[in-house]
Amino acid sequence: MENFSTPREILAKLVSFPTVSCDTNLPLVEWVETYLDSYGIRSQRIMSPCGTKAHLYAQTGPDDDGGVILSGHTDVVPVDGQAWTTDPWTLTERDGKLYGRGSCDMKGFDALALFAMARASALPIKRPLQLALSFDEEVGCVAVVDLVETMLGALPRAREVIVGEPTMMKVVTGHKGGLGYHVHVRGHEVHSSLLPYGVSAIMQAAKLIDWANQRNVENAAQAPSELAAPFVPPFTTLHVGEIEGGTAHNITAKDCRFFIEFRFVPGESPEDWASLFEAKAAELSAEMQKIHPDTGFDLKRGFALPALAPETDGPAETLARRLTGDNGQHVVSYGTEGSQFQVRGYSTVICGPGDIAQAHQPDEFLALEQLAAGEAFVDRLLDSLCA
């Protein structure tokens, strides 16, 4: 294959694959396999149930416990409807920035991870370096569970995991968890003049959404816990961003659909929030069914992502701080795949090049200085693995 000897060259190739979450990532995975193989590194796929996507993992160095995992996702969000001034699938340099979909979130780090693997293969590293590339991060951070659990059984257990989401190369040690539900409210149609004899799916949906509003008010009024205090905002939030339903202004709505998400702070359980939410939906369903038996709430879990909690004397944090020189305390309110590693026993931090403000935006970019900072990080990591 062509010689892709710098992170920038690798990034340009990765950006050229339009790996939107709803589409395949297999051409990218095949290219990565070939790239790693050219350095004598074997890799393994884990196919998705639909057969159109794959995770990939690999290892170089000694076959021992105690290595480092570099973790990234291969999928990106769509560009449809966005006003790009460059081709989103061609890496374009302008004014010290590299434009392209995924350049920041997070193919920049993926390129650095592949570069690190290639360089490590020729060095006398004393601890293994492992690579984890996932699919479907952008739709819930759930698919990666298969990747994490497979690596646990197939490779020596690593000591540190570095998830390279864009943090401006700062060491992030905590993030909120997430929980989502697709909600379908089944009503009973009558003319609106006969309102008491029908069930409006929209008006019942409003009751459940108002329950969410009340939880937000209560959460905001409480003194934040020690784990919650660093976050902005320092409490769990419930949010409905889309809703649809109804047939006409004078008919009680037969159907209403919306999606609700919970962004919960470390120390709180997604299952506790799920139980509260499901209990309220069941209570409202019982009231509706007193009027008509075929009404009620249908709930479908969309995703459930654990929170990432700061670790006491965590090896991953210690390593990342030594490599970056960053001693600040950083947490983020968005979720990452890092918590899926942490809850399975890995010490995990989030640290990668780029600004999260660029993620998902038209003309997404990665600053050249951030790519350079990431390359310096890789150099120091490889030195530490050789020490």
Q: Which residues are marked as active site?
A: 75, 137
The conformational region for residue 140 under phi > 0 = left, psi -120 to 50 = alpha, else beta, is left
The Cα–Cα gap between 147 and 56 comes to 8
Name residue 358's amino acid: Q
Mapped to the 3 state alphabet, what secondary structure does the chain carry? CCCCCCHHHHHHHHHCCCCECCCCCHHHHHHHHHHHHCCCCCEEEEECCCCCCEEEEEEECCCCCCCEEEEEECCECCCCCCCCCCCCCCCEEECCEEECCCHHHHHHHHHHHHHHHHHHCCCCCCCCEEEEEECCHHHCCCCHHHHHHHHHHHCCCCCEEEECCCCCCCCEEEECEEEEEEEEEECECCEHHHHHHCECHHHHHHHHHHHHHHHHHHHHHCCCCCCCCCCCCCCCEEEEEEEEECCCCCECCCEEEEEEEEEECCCCCHHHHHHHHHHHHHHHHHHHHCCCCCCEEEEEEEEEECCECCCCCCHHHHHHHHHHCCCCCEEECCCCCHHHHHCCCCEEEECCCCCHHHCCCCCCEEEHHHHHHHHHHHHHHHHHHHC
Of 296, 306, 372, 357, nearest to 336 by C-alpha is 306
Token match 């197939």: residue?
Answer: 154
